[in-house]
């Protein structure tokens, strides 16, 4: 597929750092050094293994395009974390190969304990998960017993087990609105930006845990304004894990699936997108005639220059996928009692979505 994704090139200082950006991205692109023949050999091998083991590949929108392509070519799915969980649960395969980050593998295992769940690497984690250790979180909940505990899907099984509700970004607003109408006060974790957005939109009483996504937190409002001046017809699509100043510039704020849908349905031909650039694969596939610009992450004092690329998602690669069945260090196990506790808030989420 020809890429129409354009890296942000906002001002001279940014342009000067372009090479740094490209090198950074090449550094985390697991397939940068592979020839086309090597990629094709890997794909053929993985396809055969999936068939042989009655396994299905479930990939997140933020994984490398080649992994997303492979999931689709082999009858698996590419989706957000909620749809990944649903797909894995309903698919008849004995083994789920989850290409994403660890909490997604855990969620798959909790929902389908009878299936084997493997991941290309268990080292693929998430700053939100890391920033919300179960013991500290539990203490925080104990300090606020009057609040309904709502946690984002990007958390460990132990944190989910402590919650009343689990939500993804696609249903966070609806769930909190519902709880607010029921007169409940919320304790929200772990993403403070998404929590603040939900609080603002619903007017609910929300107490926030102090966590953030290292990818979305880097988007800069100033850079987006500059880019918007260059492309005045572009619509701005923003994931709500981004800081408030960035969210305020958005034409559409939403989950990965909602942003893809917005790219399809809005009449604009160009878009500035503030989320992980893995999403461009699906946007470009659905909208081949539209043009997508990566929202800038540059800014004075920024540690990351337009990466917009989750280093943990990038760990899902053809080589570790090709030996996913051979290793012994990549299977997801969740303690049975913990899984049972975590299942309660997860079930609420799944049933809420269906209602
Ligand atoms: S993009 Fe952010 S929220 Fe998503 S897995 Fe990476 S660190 Fe976590």
Residue nearest to atom 3 of ligand 1 (CA): 213
In this chain, the answer to whether the domains covering 5-14+215-309 and 128-213 adopt an identical fold is: yes
Q: Tell me the best of 100, 102, 129, 154 to mutate to test the pocket of ligand 1, counting ligand atoms within 8 Å of each CB and taking the most.
A: 154
**pLDDT class of 19 with cuts at 50, 70, 90:** very low
Which stretches within 91-156 are classed as H helix? 102-111, 127-130, 134-143
**Distance between CA 313 and CA 315 in Å, rounded?**
5
Alpha-carbon Rg of the chain, whole angstroms? 20
**pLDDT class of 6 with cuts at 50, 70, 90:** very low
Q: Judge: domain 31-126+314-322, CATH 3.40.50.10800.
A: yes
Question: What are the strands, taking DSSP E only, across 74-213?
Answer: 77-79, 95-99, 116-118, 147-152, 165-167, 185-189, 206-208
How confident is the model at residue 350, as a pLDDT?
87
> For residue range 208-233, what is the model confidence (pLDDT) as tens digits?
999 999 999 999 999 999 999 999 99
153 is in an annotated binding site: yes
> For residue range 168-182, what is the model confidence (pLDDT) as tens digits?
998 999 999 999 999
How confident is the model at residue 82, as a pLDDT?
81
**Distance between CA 348 and CA 355 in Å, rounded?**
10
CATH class in words for 5-14+215-309: alpha beta
**Distance between CA 226 and CA 115 in Å, rounded?**
49
- CB-ligand 1 contact for 149 (6 Å cutoff): no
The pTM for the full model equals 0.90
- The third-level CATH classification (topology) of the domain covering 128-213 is Rossmann fold (3.40.50)
Could you state, in order of their start, the residue ranges of all structural domains in the chain? 5-14+215-309, 31-126+314-322, 128-213
Place of tokens 């090139």: 9
Give the number of other CB atoms < 10 A from CB of residue 43: 19
Q: Tell me the best of 126, 211, 216, 311 to mutate to test the pocket of ligand 1, counting ligand atoms within 8 Å of each CB and taking the most.
A: 126
Residue nearest to atom 8 of ligand 1 (CA): 126
> For residue range 234-284, what is the model confidence (pLDDT) as tens digits?
999 999 999 999 999 999 999 999 999 999 999 999 999 999 999 999 999
- CB-ligand 1 contact for 310 (6 Å cutoff): yes
């Amino acid at each position: 597929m020809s890429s129409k994704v354009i890296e942000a090139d906002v001002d001279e200082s940014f342009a000067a750092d372009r090479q740094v950006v490209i090198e950074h991205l090449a550094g985390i692109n697991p397939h940068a050094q592979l020839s086309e023949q090597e990629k094709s050999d890997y794909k053929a091998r993985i396809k055969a293994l999936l068939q042989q083991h009655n396994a299905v590949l479930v990939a997140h929108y933020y994984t490398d395009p080649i992994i997303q392509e492979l999931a689709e070519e082999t009858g698996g799915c590419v989706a957000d974390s909620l749809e990944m969980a649903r797909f894995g649960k309903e698919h008849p395969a004995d083994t789920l190969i989850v290409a994403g980050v660890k909490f997604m593998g855990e969620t798959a295992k909790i929902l389908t304990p009878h299936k084997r769940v493997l991941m290309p690497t268990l080292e693929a984690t998430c700053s939100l998960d890391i920033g919300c250790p179960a013991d500290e979180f539990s203490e925080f909940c104990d300090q606020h017993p009057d609040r309904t505990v709502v946690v984002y899907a990007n958390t460990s099984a132990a944190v989910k087990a402590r919650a009343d509700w689990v939500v993804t970004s696609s249903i966070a607003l609806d769930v909190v609105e519902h709880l607010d109408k029921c007169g409940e006060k919320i304790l929200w974790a772990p993403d403070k930006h998404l929590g603040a957005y939900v609080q603002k939109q619903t007017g609910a009483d929300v107490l926030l845990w102090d966590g953030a996504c290292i990818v979305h937190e880097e988007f800069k409002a100033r850079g987006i304004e500059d880019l918007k001046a260059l492309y005045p017809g572009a619509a701005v699509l923003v994931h709500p894990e981004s800081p408030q100043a960035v969210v305020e510039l958005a034409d559409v704020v939403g989950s990965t699936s909602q942003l893809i849908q917005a790219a399809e349905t809005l009449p604009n031909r160009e878009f500035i997108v503030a989320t992980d650039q893995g999403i461009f694969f699906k946007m470009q596939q659905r909208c081949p005639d539209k043009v997508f610009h990566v929202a800038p992450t540059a800014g004075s004092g920024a540690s990351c220059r337009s990466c917009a690329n989750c280093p943990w998602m990038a760990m899902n690669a053809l080589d570790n996928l090709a030996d996913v069945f051979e290793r012994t260090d990549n299977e997801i196990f969740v303690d049975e009692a913990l899984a049972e506790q975590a299942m309660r808030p997860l079930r609420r989420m799944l049933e809420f979505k269906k209602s």
